[in-house]
Amino acid sequence: MNTLSWSFLDILLVIALVLLAGAALRARSLRQSIILFIAFGLVTALVWARLRAPDVALAEAAIGAGLTGALLLTALRNRPSEESRLVSNNGMRWGGRWGNVAITVSVSLVALGIGWAVLYGMNDTQSGRLAGQVGSALELSGVSNPVTAVLLNFRAYDTLLELAVLLAALLGILSLGGGRATHCTVDPIATSLRGWLVPLLILTAGYQLWVGAHAPGGAFQAGALLAAAGVVQHLAGRAHAGLPVGAVLRVLMVSGIGIFMTMGLWTFLGGRGFLAYPQRWAGELILLIELFATLAIAVTLILCYLGSEPERRRITPAGSKP
Amino acid sequence: MIDTGVLYGLTGVALAAMGFRATLLEPEVIRKLLAINIMGVGIFLLMIATAYTGPDTAADPVLHALVLTGIVVAVSATALGLALERRRRDKDGS
Amino acid sequence: MEVDVLVLSVALPLCGALIAVAWPRRCEVVGMLTAFAVSVAAVLTLVQVLVVGALQHEMGGWTPGLGIALRVDILSAVFLVLVGLVVLASSVYATGYFGQPREKAHFWPMWLLLLAALNALVLSSDLFNVYVTLELLGLTAVSLAALSGQRAAIDAALRYLLVGLLGSMVYLAGVALLYLGYGTLDLPAIATQIESEPIAWLALCLMTGGLLLKTALFPLHFWLPPAHANAPAPVSAVLSALVVKAGFYLVMRLWIDLFPALLTPSTGLLLGIPGAAAVLWGSWQAFKAERLKLLAAYSTVAQLGYLFLGLALLFQLAPGPTRDVLFGGIVLMALTHGFAKAGLFLAAGMVQKRSGNDQISNLGGMAQRMPVTTFTIALAGVALIGLPPSGAFLGKWQLLSSALGLGQWLWVIVVATGSMLAAAYVFRVLERAFAGSSQPDAPVAIAREEWPALLLSAIAAVLLGVGSGWLWPLLGNDI
Amino acid sequence: MNLSSTLPGLIVASSLLPGLVIFFLREGSQFTRTLLNLGGAFAKLVLVGIMIWGVFHEKVYATRWTLAPGLELALHADALSVLFVTLSTILWFVTTLYAIGYLEHSPKRSRFFGFFSLCVSATVGLALAANLFTFVIFYELLTLATYPLVAHRGNTEAIRGARIYLVYTLGGGLALLLGAVWLHAVAGPVTFVEGGVLSRLPEQTYSQLKWIFVLLVLGLGVKAALVPLHGWLPQAMVAPAPVSALLHAVAVVKAGAFGIVRVVYDVYGVEFAADLNLLLPLGVMAAVTIIYGSIKALSQDNLKKRLAYSTVSQVSYIALGTATLGPIATIGGVVHLVHQGVMKITLFFAAGNYAETLGVHKVSEMNGIGRRMPGTTLAFTVGALGMIGIPPVAGYVTKWYLGLGALEAGAAAWVLPVLIISSLLNAAYFLPVLYRAWFLEAPVDWPNEHPRTGWFETTGALFWPPVATAVLALAAGLFAAAPYSPLEWAELIAEREYLR
């Protein structure tokens, strides 16, 4: 294990991370803490890139900072006034000041323990980690990007369940129904941006999807970018953010897992075991799955942002209030 | 001795602790969700730090896949939490 | 049969959920068909395990270290059948419970996702995969709990979500540490390498802490009663009977399969003392509860206490026949509580639907107006108290027998007090039901709603007690 | 599936299955309910007859069903269980007839007869239990089956009486369970073997065995109404007459007494129990109960309350007989199991008739009732005389053997005075009732008289049962020496217990 000297950049990033997190949690107003949280997300993306995890950096930037930020800001915008900073606590406070001190002390003790264990664990890292196995089995997986191989072939079942988690969250949000996103003014900057930003986003999403097979990228990053395109559409006044309505929308929502399941059942009934792609066609099958997964993720994330299914009737194109 | 992986690992643990503490103590629901996200990033940082094996050799792809899944799960949970919070405020008109 | 039926237990409900989302007009039929098919698959899996023994299915054909393996032994097969039957009965009940099509369109897809999550969790033997199933379970449970839309349900669901997320994150931290220390995520692979070192200890504490949050063991139980009491009846039945028990199943799996090397008798106390406190506190709160569903929710907290208390005893026994018998007792108590609590919640749902609210004070004359529901509550009560011929009676007998064998009187007193309090709160309800009321009108009954609850309670109160003889020897060779 | 392995199971099922079916019968289906009830009762009578004949000829009947490793639901027919099963089967048949007549127009009869049959199945199961584990199961089932019967009327004091009954019996059940589990932990699965199984345990477990005995007697004492634990019995008088008849003469009270007999003779073994000097405290407790019950009965104006306190004292004769070391005292104790059942059920049937036909509940209202209802009062007289111990009714047999047993065991110093005092007290609270019934003028009109229907003084179904049980009580006394009589059977039991 060569001594990996940490450079000045690492110190900077670490300090930035911790400061931003602390500031986000203790900011006076909600708006400030959300803005700080988005900044924290971007710095995290930088850290992932520094730690040689490009796929994760892309996903963090698009989903972690981008979309979560958008969701938080919408939640903030629907809130009529600022003073609701300290809304009635819902029983999660632990007995006033002494509670705070006790919690802080105990949490920091546990953290020290884990830190010491990390220190102890890190140094004798056996080389027997799964990286070796992934490397040797990579050429069987049909893709050359190891992360995509793990995501869509070796641990495809995890990704299947993760898409189910996304669908579950969406169904939960839709079942809550309730208030239409009451955004009023159409953002002039967004309308002007819409002209060229949306096609660019769609293009990069397509590129991300394609390049995922042999370089950092993949279904999640592409899906997030498509969702970003939808968000911009919505800000520019399109009430249903470019989404189809009714049955087509529902089919799109389930298309990601649907393809995964049909593939899995087809191989399972073929006697090869669930999701065991035939080695010759693995690459193409993975691309097919990723295509539909991207669409499904994009539709799901946009609907989470909208908060409910868009109405059926199309609004007039003049960007008037829906 | 401290190398890059351990440095980021310890930062991850610190972030997770900050997030955990804030989740328990913050009364405001949206801040709680922020805190949970920060805690998530902390744990993911710990995972990616263990995956990091030096500037030249390739990092452990399995951990990267796990963190990717974790990020998507975190965003879906946050989206559901925000929707519940919005519905809660619509109900009592605050 | 070369086809591994256990994969169907996960694939079927997922497909059902997708079809239900894509085809909302027919979601109820799809839901019922899927629930039935899944319970058939569960029974077939149990048969296969009885014939062949433990089964394993590598997902994607990769070896478990690299890929994920679904494993089923007698313990998970029995839980699969519990999940299958309770969800099937609750589904039949739900067809009569939800009125407007909009509610049905939202209920059924999430219901099938919940079923898929439960099955996936019971079958999975990969630590990170368990995390993803826990999240799926948490999100679907929260969405279903908030389905009724009232303010109390939304608040309870939000608190349930926050606690659930906290629990999953802490569990994930534990998984990260284990991967850091042992380099693999496959449960049996880690189990061979684990020895008593700090990183293993910390991982055990974090993972157990996370799971205890989700299982609502005593000090961490505050979110359970409001969430379960305000959810729609079929949902609260599944929440109390299965979702909370999935956490216990995982703790049992971890402590028995993964961390046996770390377990000294004293570590068992970490679960035993909160378990004992849960029994006493939960039973006392249930006795004081004013609403039937709140009573049932607090009784869940108490009954889980018994299970953890049993675990504490289990780890103090040296491997041998007595330990196997106690393990069988604990599993039987978990199963009996699953069926009984589901029956009780469905009955409480009927009471709430018929008389507007489930206040215990105005249950007068229920024995006459709703005879089948009262009989269901009585049977479920027998199983909750642990009176013969219920399965819980055998479970408590084993619990008391091993506690007395070890000479630890504390547990005996706790179990005795818990049983008396349980008798108090069950008969308080029954007494009200038997008491005559002002308007003894003719008995009112809808078969579709009453029969599932009655069958569940009858299984708990009679079948598991009398018919579980074949289960015990098989459970023995698990630990 | 030959007879010897299924007979005990069939006996329990013969009342369990009709009971479960009756639960789901509509209120109006009177005929099917009566058919099921009487059919079940008759089937059980036939099966028990077969069993008596078999046991007398040394045949072995046993049904086994393993619930868990080391825990077996086992029913077998040994001499003691046959005695109790015969008693409860005969009296259940008679009580069913009586209940059908008594509850002619009242509501909720399906529920009543359902639980009624469950109660008898529990009693029979308890009688046939072959090991302590099965005994505990049926003991608890008996509580569950009788609670709704006591709370049957649904008015406030029925609910209150049932609640008190429940608190006592569940508490007792818990004590019995703890004792049984502790014994299971110490001595492994305990089966009932004549002469007891615990004598070969090592020395150091003796202290534990003492504590276990205390727990077991506490648990059984609740149902056997030993003094500090008898509080529920007078309160349970709110139940309808057939229930109090069944509960106090056949099922609940006898379950407790029978349990004590089983524990002393077939679990500990009477010599071993004497060595651990456990018998003396049991005997003292029984004696105190006998005296206390009789004194309390004196002051009760309500007829059923007086009979209840008389039951409290009478049942303790069985415990007294068990606690006196010696075969003759054992015979006295065991045979009283039958005699007390037959006599007490006659008294309760008569009390039920008075209440149902004339609305008479209090002793003070019973002036001249002999002229108005001669048959029932004659039966009442036979029962009362038996209780006092006047020949030829069966009561004197028990007191005679208990006295002889005490002399033989050398414990006459305190047992004989108890017997004499209690007989005097019995006379003190029964003779005034008889005098009032036969020799005083009847009041002009009765509190709530129903018009006379047939040429009997009351409906047939209410008239014949007390007369039948009175005849049985007389027969048990007169033909005590006959081959199949309760006394003969008790001698067979005592002989097998002491043969070891």
B and D touch per CB criterion (3+ pairs under 8 A) = no
**Average pLDDT value over all residues in chain C:** 88
In this predicted structure, what is the pLDDT of residue A2? 46
Query: In the 8-state DSSP scheme, what is residue C98?
Result: -
A and D touch per CB criterion (3+ pairs under 8 A) = no
DSSP codes joined into one string, C221-252 = -TTHHHHHHHS-HHHHHHIIIIIHHHHHHHHH
Q: CB-CB: which of D67, D156, D170 is closest to C466?
A: D67
In this predicted structure, what is the pLDDT of residue C248? 93
Task: Calculate what percentage of chain D has a pLDDT beyond 70.
Answer: 98
Using a CB-CB cut-off of 8 Å, the residues of chain A touching B73 are 162, 165
Query: In the 8-state DSSP scheme, what is residue D363?
Result: G
Cβ atoms C468, D64 nearer than 8 A: no
Residue A150 has pLDDT above 60, yes or no: yes
Residue with more model confidence, A157 or A90: A157
Tens of pLDDT, residues D406-417: 888 887 778 888
Using a CB-CB cut-off of 8 Å, the residues of chain B touching A74 are 82
In this predicted structure, what is the pLDDT of residue A316? 43
Residue with more model confidence, A137 or A68: A68
Residue C162 has pLDDT above 90, yes or no: yes
Q: Please name the amino acid found at residue C289.
A: A
pLDDT band at A95 (very low <50, low <70, confident <90, very high): low
A and C touch per CB criterion (3+ pairs under 8 A) = yes
pLDDT band at C446 (very low <50, low <70, confident <90, very high): low
Helix (H) or strand (E) holding C436: none
In this predicted structure, what is the pLDDT of residue A261? 92
Mean pLDDT of A270-274: 81
- Residue B64 sits in a domain whose CATH number is 1.10.287
**Average pLDDT value over all residues in chain A:** 81
Closest C-chain CA to D171: C420
Q: CB-CB: which of C375, C402, C419 is closest to D174?
A: C419
Distances (CA, A) of D138 to C218, C274, D20, D131: 34, 33, 17, 11
Tens of pLDDT, residues B78-93: 999 999 988 888 776 5
Using a CB-CB cut-off of 8 Å, the residues of chain A touching B61 are 131, 134, 146-147, 149-150
The answer to whether the Cβ–Cβ distance between C158 and A157 falls below 8 Å is no
The answer to whether the Cβ–Cβ distance between A272 and C61 falls below 8 Å is yes
In this predicted structure, what is the pLDDT of residue A317? 47
pLDDT band at A88 (very low <50, low <70, confident <90, very high): very low
pLDDT band at B24 (very low <50, low <70, confident <90, very high): confident
Mean pLDDT of A55-65: 90
| Domain assignment of residue A309, yes or no | yes
Q: Subunits touching B (CB < 8 Å, at least 3 pairs)?
A: A, C
Query: Alpha-carbon distance D416 to D157, whole Å?
Result: 40
Torsion of CA D287, D290, D292, D295, to 10 degrees: -140
Helix axes B29-51, A8-26, angle to 10 degrees: 160
Tokens, residue D176 = 């019995």
In this predicted structure, what is the pLDDT of residue C43? 93
Please name which of D460, D221, D236 lies closest in space to residue D348, comparing C-alpha atoms. Answer: D236
DSSP codes joined into one string, D23-87 = HTS-TT-HHHHHHHHHHHHHHHHHHHHHHHHHHHTT---EEEEEEETTEEEEEE--HHHHHHHHH
The answer to whether the Cβ–Cβ distance between C181 and A157 falls below 8 Å is no
Mean pLDDT of D73-90: 88
Q: Subunits touching A (CB < 8 Å, at least 3 pairs)?
A: B, C
Using a CB-CB cut-off of 8 Å, the residues of chain B touching A179 are 86-87, 90
Mean pLDDT of C114-131: 94
Most confident of B48-52, C347-351, D491-495: C347-351
Mean pLDDT of A194-202: 88
Mean pLDDT of D271-297: 89
C and B touch per CB criterion (3+ pairs under 8 A) = yes
Q: CB-CB: which of B43, B80, B88 is closest to C169?
A: B43
Using a CB-CB cut-off of 8 Å, the residues of chain B touching A5 are 3-4
Beta bridge partners of C71: C56
Residue C479 has pLDDT above 60, yes or no: no
| Domain assignment of residue A70, yes or no | no
Query: Alpha-carbon distance C322 to C397, whole Å?
Result: 12
Cβ atoms C48, C34 nearer than 8 A: no
Tens of pLDDT, residues D304-355: 889 999 988 989 999 988 888 888 888 888 888 888 888 989 999 988 888 8
Torsion of CA B1, B6, B10, B12, to 10 degrees: 170
Most confident of C157-166, D77-86, D442-451, D456-465: C157-166
Tokens, residue A46 = 């930088």
Which residues of D lie inside 8 Å of C (Cβ-Cβ)? Answer: 23, 65-71, 73, 107-108, 111, 133, 136-138, 140-141, 144, 147-148, 151, 154-156, 159, 162-163, 166, 170-171, 173-174, 177-178, 181-182, 184-186
Please name which of C350, C459, C341, C293 lies closest in space to residue C96, comparing C-alpha atoms. Answer: C350
Range with the lowest mean pLDDT among A14-18, C378-382, D4-8, D348-352?
Answer: D4-8
| Domain assignment of residue A78, yes or no | no
Tens of pLDDT, residues D200-213: 888 888 888 899 99
Tens of pLDDT, residues D347-398: 999 888 888 888 888 888 888 888 888 888 888 999 999 888 888 888 888 8
The answer to whether the Cβ–Cβ distance between D141 and C472 falls below 8 Å is no
Range with the lowest mean pLDDT among A315-319, D87-91, D174-178, D248-252?
Answer: A315-319
The answer to whether the Cβ–Cβ distance between C420 and D171 falls below 8 Å is yes
Residue D44 has pLDDT above 80, yes or no: yes
Query: Alpha-carbon distance C253 to C241, whole Å?
Result: 18
pLDDT band at D456 (very low <50, low <70, confident <90, very high): low
Q: Is the dihedral of CA A231, A235, A238, A240 positive or negative?
A: positive
- Put simply, the chain C residues between 83 and 122 with a CB less than 8 A from any chain A CB are 106-107, 109-110, 113, 116-117, 120
Query: Alpha-carbon distance D427 to D415, whole Å?
Result: 19
Please give the interface size between B and C, counted as residue pairs whose CB atoms are below 8 Å apart. Answer: 70
> How close C435 comes to chain D (CA, Å)?
5
The answer to whether the Cβ–Cβ distance between A154 and C149 falls below 8 Å is no
Task: Calculate what percentage of chain C has a pLDDT beyond 70.
Answer: 96
pLDDT band at A296 (very low <50, low <70, confident <90, very high): very high
Instruction: Tell me whether C14 touches chain A (CB under 8 Å).
Output: yes
> Which residue in C330, C379, C401, C462 has the most chain D C-beta atoms within 10 A of its own C-beta, making it the best mutation to test that interface?
C401
Instruction: Tell me whether A107 touches chain B (CB under 8 Å).
Output: yes
Using a CB-CB cut-off of 8 Å, the residues of chain D touching C367 are 111
Tens of pLDDT, residues C189-228: 888 888 888 888 889 999 999 999 998 888 788 888 888 8
Tens of pLDDT, residues C402-437: 999 888 889 999 999 999 999 999 999 988 887 766
Using a CB-CB cut-off of 8 Å, the residues of chain C touching D183 are none
Please give the interface size between A and B, counted as residue pairs whose CB atoms are below 8 Å apart. Answer: 266
Maximum C-alpha span of chain D: 72
Query: Alpha-carbon distance D238 to B59, whole Å?
Result: 81
Instruction: Tell me whether C413 touches chain D (CB under 8 Å).
Output: no
Q: How many CB atoms lie within 10 A of CB A46?
A: 17
Tens of pLDDT, residues B29-60: 889 999 999 999 999 999 998 888 777 777 88
Instruction: Tell me whether A185 touches chain B (CB under 8 Å).
Output: no
Mean pLDDT of A275-293: 88
Cβ atoms A264, C8 nearer than 8 A: no
Residue A85 has pLDDT above 50, yes or no: no
Query: Alpha-carbon distance C469 to D329, whole Å?
Result: 42
Using a CB-CB cut-off of 8 Å, the residues of chain A touching C104 are none
> How close B92 comes to chain A (CA, Å)?
11
Task: Calculate what percentage of chain A has a pLDDT beyond 70.
Answer: 83
The answer to whether the Cβ–Cβ distance between C14 and A137 falls below 8 Å is no
- Put simply, the chain C residues between 2 and 31 with a CB less than 8 A from any chain D CB are none
Query: Alpha-carbon distance D180 to D176, whole Å?
Result: 6
Please name which of D84, D79, D73, D43 lies closest in space to residue D60, comparing C-alpha atoms. Answer: D79
**C436: phi then psi, degrees, rounded to nearest 5:** -65, 155
In this predicted structure, what is the pLDDT of residue C437? 62
DSSP codes joined into one string, D301-320 = -BHHHHHHHHHHHHHHHHHH
| Domain assignment of residue A34, yes or no | no
Tokens, residue C216 = 């609502």
In this predicted structure, what is the pLDDT of residue A319? 44
Instruction: Tell me whether C198 touches chain A (CB under 8 Å).
Output: yes
Give the range of the structural domain holding residue A312, as residue numbers without chain letter: 142-322
DSSP codes joined into one string, B8-49 = HHHHHHHHHHHHHHHHHH--SHHHHHHHHHHHHHHHHHHHHH
Residue D498 has pLDDT above 80, yes or no: no
Q: What total of structural domains would you count in chain A?
A: 1
Mean pLDDT of A57-62: 92
Closest C-chain CA to B61: C66
The answer to whether the Cβ–Cβ distance between B27 and A92 falls below 8 Å is yes
Q: How many CB atoms lie within 10 A of CB A281?
A: 11
Range with the lowest mean pLDDT among A3-17, C40-54, D227-241, D396-410?
Answer: A3-17
Q: Please name the amino acid found at residue C8.
A: L
In this predicted structure, what is the pLDDT of residue C432? 85
In this predicted structure, what is the pLDDT of residue D445? 75
Where on the phi/psi map is residue A22: left (φ > 0), alpha (ψ -120 to 50), or beta? alpha
> How close A125 comes to chain B (CA, Å)?
9
Pairing relationship of beta strands D62-68 and C69-72 according to DSSP bridges: unpaired
| Domain assignment of residue A97, yes or no | no
Mean pLDDT of C360-365: 79
In this predicted structure, what is the pLDDT of residue D169? 92
Instruction: Tell me whether A247 touches chain C (CB under 8 Å).
Output: yes
Instruction: Tell me whether A17 touches chain B (CB under 8 Å).
Output: yes
Range with the lowest mean pLDDT among A131-140, C210-219, C341-350, D377-386?
Answer: A131-140
